[in-house]
Structure 1
Amino acid sequence: MNPIPMVDLGVQYEHLKSELDAAISGVMAGTRYILGPEVQALENELAGYLGVSHAIGCASGTDALHLALRAAGIGPGDEVITTPFTFIATAEAIRYCGAEPVFVDIDPRSFNIDPERVEAAVNERTRAILPVHLFGQPADMTALMALADRHGLKVIEDCAQSFGAEIEGRQTGSIGLAGAFSFFPSKNLGGCGDGGLIATSDDALAEEIRMLRNHGRRVDGYEHEVIGYNSRLDELQAAILRVKLGYIDDFNRERRRVAAGYRRCLETADFELPYEDHIGRHVYHQFTLLVPDGLREHLQASLRENDIASAVYYPIPLHRQPAFAQCRQAGDLGNSEAVAERCLSVPIFPEMTEEQIERVSDGLKSVKCEV
């Protein structure tokens, strides 16, 4: 049997080959490779899709977080409350600004930051909250925005895994002061290399971000107002993303189809399936199970023997990482540690067939039956 990868970018390329090849050829023929018409067109289209006034392309999702935080005025001496159960980039971006991440525990169902614990962590140094819409499940933005308003805090959304996810009809990334997106190839909307985007409806913030991404200058030339960065989205990536943006709703609908297939096949299995609340629209960047204690390694080995991929996102919470050993932990982080020990992500991508869904599900269930 053919291997089942976590994501099959090859089959997606084959489906879109003629459009992608034409888009790439158009950029090459036009010879505008930096901040050209494709970037401008993509930014306009993304702003419209997300429902914001400004969408600003940059070099990566990590840069999107960093630029949004810096433009929001986050700097040395400040604290930013975030989750320890996420990729390192979330907290890295805070440290890049000279600020300190403060880790608050997650809701064990959604895997997202727990708003009640966030409120308890606020102090005189707190300047912002950085929630993550993990695995495509929106965080509880209603509660987070309410407490941010009470305490005068800024909210920057980490939307690296949630492109197209909604909360009561609003896109993630359009609710806080800004939203940071990643176009890493495996993302729901992914390019063919690195890329990122900041979404905001704040005019002043958008102007600051555009200056920061381009060496601290507002227009092309040699007048630089601040020390900025070289963080520009490539024209080739913009052209590729414009093609894929036309299919993003189809991609996300198909991811939800695959997730529904897993739910059907695993309904009676002894796993905790991903949580969906009634106000958010999950877009399943990952399909992440909680498996019984002590079973994960055995499951992965058995799946691997059957040419089925799996992954653990994330085995070491950030508060356990040496790089953040000195950062403040606001309360007990037991939920994050427990989920990190039991989580297992299985393949999910829009082009997955029913046969592949059943094969992965059968592999999971057969291992459980043996233990």
Structure 2
Amino acid sequence: MAVPLLDLNAQNQKYANDLQAAFSRILGSSQFILGHEVTSFEDSIASSLGSHHCIGVSSGTDALVLALMTIGIGPGDEVLCPSFTFFSTAGCISRLGAEPVFVDVLPNTFNINVDDAVAKISPRTKAIIPVHLYGQSADMDAVMELADSHGIKVVEDCAQAMGARWKNVQVGTIGDFGAYSFFPTKNLGGFGDGGLLSVTDPELAERARTLRVHGSKPKYYHKYVGGNFRLDALQAALLSVKLDSLESYINQRRSNAEYYHSQLSALGFGDKLMLPSEADNCRHTWNQFTLRIPDGRRDDLREHLRVCDIASEIYYPLTLHQQECFQNLPDRPCPVSEQLAGECLSIPIYPELTTELQDEVVSAIGDFF
């Protein structure tokens, strides 16, 4: 039986009537750029997150760019970020002319190692971007202590972690900014690209809103050089249909993760197959369920799953500090990141995944070992 990595039809078709009604409403209004639908969605999601200010933007990547622009990151500045994460975290820093300083991660959580960040901070450091990878919060107490002691800003990368919590506080509302993605694979998946920026300080929020529309306020009068980072009204309307289901999506992901843990642990493979875990003080959303397969066998397992018609993915096969485009930067070792890039394999964990399909995955993994 084939097992996909994600089944968007299983999630979205149940809302077909409501989604079509939202589309018709936007079509009838002809308000396609910002407007009431975006404002209403921003207010609703701010209430859901417990955020002070939420700003709808064009993608999760643009949310990061906008946050960095808002605090004036540019040439000569350094920004700390993990080496083991998706490219946009560091790409956004480089696009503004600043230098990403790659920090190693912890092997048990895949998240930023704050001790390594402390060792790599410098007088040029202006911000840190903790990534809540795979849906689990980084150690935000340690991150905030570092930031406060050095006077730097915190931009939380919550692309994979909407709904995750640190000590029962929503990620993205702890630092100065929280950047979220509505890419279709995310916890709250949209119908194309879209993103959100959560901002704690009202003055920074106002600046970010202005930068979102080319730095223009009032219209055609430009105080700053901004960008076109607007969330489409259609995306806001469609996402609003699904917003109330976010908690149920997360609960189902958590249930699926619990089932994987019970079934895979029972196979008794020990260190041959290392399972992900939920860290203390965290509420994991399990955007990904990422195994570690040491001893150079990860790719063999992935091929075995492919033959069994079971989808999997490697997030990520090459660390950021090893990417060709960053080879001009100073050498800053991240050995744990390099190790994880050779061991990690993510298996299906989406909310609509049935127990029957999970059993197929578990059985195939058991047959491999």
Give the TM-score, by structure 2 length.
Answer: 0.97
Q: Aligned to 1:302, which of 276, 301, 304?
A: 304
**Structure 1 residue 55: deviation in Å?**
0.3
**Structure 1 residue 239: deviation in Å?**
0.8
- Give yes or no for contact 2:175–2:200 (8 Å, CA) kept in 1: no
**Separation in structure 1 between the aligned mates of residue 196 and residue 59 of structure 2, nearest angstrom:** 7
Are 1:157 and 2:129 matched, yes or no?
no
**Separation in structure 2 between the aligned mates of residue 165 and residue 327 of structure 1, nearest angstrom:** 33
Deviations 1:43-73 (A, max 9, x none): 0011111112110011111100000011012
Equivalent residue number for residue 143 of structure 2: 144
Q: Residues 28-177 of structure 1: matches in 2 within 5 Å? A: 28-177=27-176
In terms of mean alpha carbon deviation, does 23-32 or 278-287 score higher?
23-32
Equivalent residue number for residue 210 of structure 1: 209
Q: Residues 284-323 of structure 1: matches in 2 within 5 Å? A: 284-323=286-325
Deviations 1:62-86 (A, max 9, x none): 1000000110121110100110101
Equivalent residue number for residue 253 of structure 1: 251
Q: Residues 326-345 of structure 1: matches in 2 within 5 Å? A: 326-330=328-332, 332-345=333-346
Deviations 1:294-313 (A, max 9, x none): 21222111111121100000
**Separation in structure 2 between the aligned mates of residue 227 and residue 336 of structure 1, nearest angstrom:** 36
**Separation in structure 2 between the aligned mates of residue 79 and residue 215 of structure 1, nearest angstrom:** 24
**Separation in structure 2 between the aligned mates of residue 160 and residue 139 of structure 1, nearest angstrom:** 13
- Give yes or no for contact 1:57–1:196 (8 Å, CA) kept in 2: yes
**Separation in structure 1 between the aligned mates of residue 363 and residue 242 of structure 2, nearest angstrom:** 32
In terms of mean alpha carbon deviation, does 319-328 or 254-263 score higher?
319-328
Equivalent residue number for residue 17 of structure 1: 16
In terms of mean alpha carbon deviation, does 115-124 or 62-71 score higher?
115-124
Structure 2 portions without partners, runs of 5+: none
Instruction: Give me the identity figure in percent.
Output: 48
Give the SS at the match of 1:328: coil
Q: Which amino acid aligns with 1:225?
A: K
**Separation in structure 2 between the aligned mates of residue 247 and residue 17 of structure 1, nearest angstrom:** 14
Are 1:263 and 2:261 matched, yes or no?
yes
Deviations 1:122-180 (A, max 9, x none): 11111111110000010000011011111111110000000000011110000000010
- Give yes or no for contact 1:81–1:129 (8 Å, CA) kept in 2: yes
Deviations 1:299-338 (A, max 9, x none): 11111112110000000000000111122344x3110000
**Separation in structure 2 between the aligned mates of residue 20 and residue 11 of structure 1, nearest angstrom:** 14
Q: Which amino acid aligns with 1:356?
A: L
Give the SS at the match of 1:272: coil
**Structure 1 residue 275: deviation in Å?**
2.1
Alignment RMSD: 1.1
- Give yes or no for contact 2:163–2:285 (8 Å, CA) kept in 1: yes
In terms of mean alpha carbon deviation, does 320-329 or 6-15 score higher?
320-329
Give the TM-score, by structure 1 length.
Answer: 0.96
Equivalent residue number for residue 240 of structure 1: 238
**Separation in structure 2 between the aligned mates of residue 358 and residue 96 of structure 1, nearest angstrom:** 44
**Separation in structure 1 between the aligned mates of residue 329 and residue 189 of structure 2, nearest angstrom:** 32
**Separation in structure 2 between the aligned mates of residue 34 and residue 49 of structure 1, nearest angstrom:** 23
**Separation in structure 2 between the aligned mates of residue 296 and residue 201 of structure 1, nearest angstrom:** 41
Q: Which amino acid aligns with 2:360?
A: R
Q: Which amino acid aligns with 2:124?
A: R
Deviations 1:234-273 (A, max 9, x none): 1111011111111000000000011111111100233111
Aligned residues: 365
Q: Which amino acid aligns with 2:109?
A: S
**Separation in structure 2 between the aligned mates of residue 329 and residue 206 of structure 1, nearest angstrom:** 35
Q: Which amino acid aligns with 1:362?
A: S
Structure 1 portions without partners, runs of 5+: none
**Separation in structure 2 between the aligned mates of residue 274 and residue 350 of structure 1, nearest angstrom:** 18
**Separation in structure 2 between the aligned mates of residue 155 and residue 327 of structure 1, nearest angstrom:** 22
In terms of mean alpha carbon deviation, does 26-35 or 170-179 score higher?
26-35
